[in-house]
Amino acid sequence: MIVCVCKSVSDRKIRASIAEGVDTFDELQFELGVAMCCGKCEESVRDVMAQSGVCASQCGVEQREHVAPLMFYERKAA
């Protein structure tokens, strides 16, 4: 599923980067360009990070189990 529409970054790509050692939001921005354009994907990116086990102190989101990240357009509709 595409998380960052502006940069066409999927949750799979974010998880692959985390598996390769990326463990901060800033590093993900540098590596993948997420949240660098409109910025509407930031919360979804942080959700994926939290679900991938990145510490809340680094990604800013408490880890939740089995919660699929909402896309920014889904958040507006809710």
What is the contact surface with ligand FES in residues (CB under 6 A)? 4-7, 34-41
Q: In this structure, is the dihedral angle defined by the CA atoms of residues 62, 64, 69 and 73, taken in order, positive or negative? A: negative
- Which tokens hold the place of 67? 């919660």
* Closest separation in Å from C-beta 56 to ligand FES: 21
- Distance (Å, whole) CA 38 – CA 42: 9
Select 36 or 70, whichever has its Cβ closest to ligand FES. Answer: 36
Select 28 or 65, whichever has its Cβ closest to ligand FES. Answer: 28
* Closest separation in Å from C-beta 5 to ligand FES: 4
Per the CB < 8 A criterion, the answer to whether 18 and 49 are in contact is: yes
